[in-house]
Amino acid sequence: MELLGKSKEELRAFCVALGEPAFRGAQIYHALYSERKFDVAQITNLPAALRERLRKEARITLPEVKQQFASADGSVRYLFGLGSAEENKDFNTEFAENIASTEKGGKERASRLQKPASVEAVFMPSEGRQTICISTQAGCAVDCHFCLTAQLGLIRNLTAGEILAQVLLPLEEHKTRLAPQTNVVLMGQGEPLLNFEPVMAAVRILLDPEGMGISPKHVTLSTSGIVPGIERLAQEKVRPKLAISLNASNDEQRDALMPINKKYPLAMLIDACKEYPLRTWEHLTFEYVMLGGLNDAAEDARRVVRLLAPLKSVKVNLIPWNPGELPYRESSPERIEEFRRILVDRGVPAFVRYSRGRDVMAACGQLALLQIDGSQSPVVSLR
């Protein structure tokens, strides 16, 4: 039995099945997520006999840190090596078995599932806090045209344990100089709402005061606009903040940049946002990557204002494009400022978010050095 990623209830049930009292499960839960003990031998409040039994009957699988890149601004980009879906017996077996027969190109992808995958996370320290950007899938099926992760297709979904490990490992590595506040953003590779259950299992542990104890104000899930996923998230009792990757001011533009818009066009997306139950302290964040000459005109800014007008509490993050391999160019700082001014003057809070870690390809739009089929290739991901 894999322990990492399991909820308190699952660990309690596991201990009961071993003939142990249920509270032993809560002790394991606390040790894993609150104390970051990744070896059962270190969980010394468990009886020695139980530790020995767990050593034989359970495992705690951490991804391998394959590479680390430290930026001059203090950010650290991690390349994590994961096992194959095939190795992970607790997870995804149906998914792994079925895709070969049900999907176009599925045979090739099924064979990739047998191979280890890699994902990335970025640790970004700053005054009073650290922010960790994590991945929820290896590769991505969504096909945003400005994102090279899209060119990989979906390699596989990550498990809750693999998602949590991207937070636990950097926190453990930097434990002697952690700031009091930890922010987690689900903006790395993958579309979190297309891996809903494992993502929410991880989020519940992140937000549980007895688990990792991070405030819901400090965990943000970013989606390309998967409307059924937004509706499902709205039903969750425990949930992170929601950010929507907008990047366009009308359907024509968004269809060209993000084909997912054909399935969930802007009117449908905005309707789902209207229905989304915000907490008193919460606002919806819209991310808008500024692509020179493409979506950065004054008219685009005015359309964004009109688009967001039906929503109660929003803010817009304008993200300057980081030039890479893709055929887009940066907006000028003057153009970005003019865009921001138009939003702010019309009552839409807007901020320019410059990316961290540009020198190690950890910035937004540069997050990737994926390892596929055993070879490394630089790949740009946008979220």
Does 247 engage in binding with ligand SF4 (CB under 6 A)? no
Q: Which amino acid makes up residue 246?
A: L
Does 190 engage in binding with ligand SF4 (CB under 6 A)? yes
Token pair 């937000």: residue: 207
Report d(CA 116, CA 118) in Å as an integer.
Answer: 7
Contact by Cβ (8 Å): 170, 78: yes
Does 147 engage in binding with ligand SF4 (CB under 6 A)? yes
Report d(CA 199, CA 3) in Å as an integer.
Answer: 16
Which of positions 170-189 make contact with ligand SF4 (CB under 6 A)? 189
Active site residue 144: no
Does 32 engage in binding with ligand SF4 (CB under 6 A)? no
Closer CB to ligand SF4, 103 or 208, in the complex:
103
Q: Please, what is the minimum distance in Å from the beta carbon of residue 30 to ligand SF4? A: 33
Does 142 engage in binding with ligand SF4 (CB under 6 A)? yes
Token pair 């302290």: residue: 281
Report d(CA 383, CA 381) in Å as an integer.
Answer: 6
Q: Choose the binding region for ligand SF4 from 142-150, 230-238, 264-272, 343-351 (rule: CB under 6 A).
A: 142-150
Does 261 engage in binding with ligand SF4 (CB under 6 A)? no
Q: Give 65's strand partners.
A: 80
Closer CB to ligand SF4, 4 or 260, in the complex:
260
Closer CB to ligand SF4, 28 or 244, in the complex:
244
Q: Choose the binding region for ligand SF4 from 140-148, 229-237, 268-276, 307-315 (rule: CB under 6 A).
A: 140-148
Cβ count near 105 (within 10 Å) = 10
Does 159 engage in binding with ligand SF4 (CB under 6 A)? no
CA angle 91–97–102, rounded 5-degree value: 125
Report d(CA 143, CA 383) in Å as an integer.
Answer: 12
Would you say how long the chain is, in residues? 383
Q: Rule CB under 6 A: which residues touch ligand SF4?
A: 140, 142-144, 147, 149-150, 189-191, 224, 381-383
Catalytic residue numbers?
120, 364
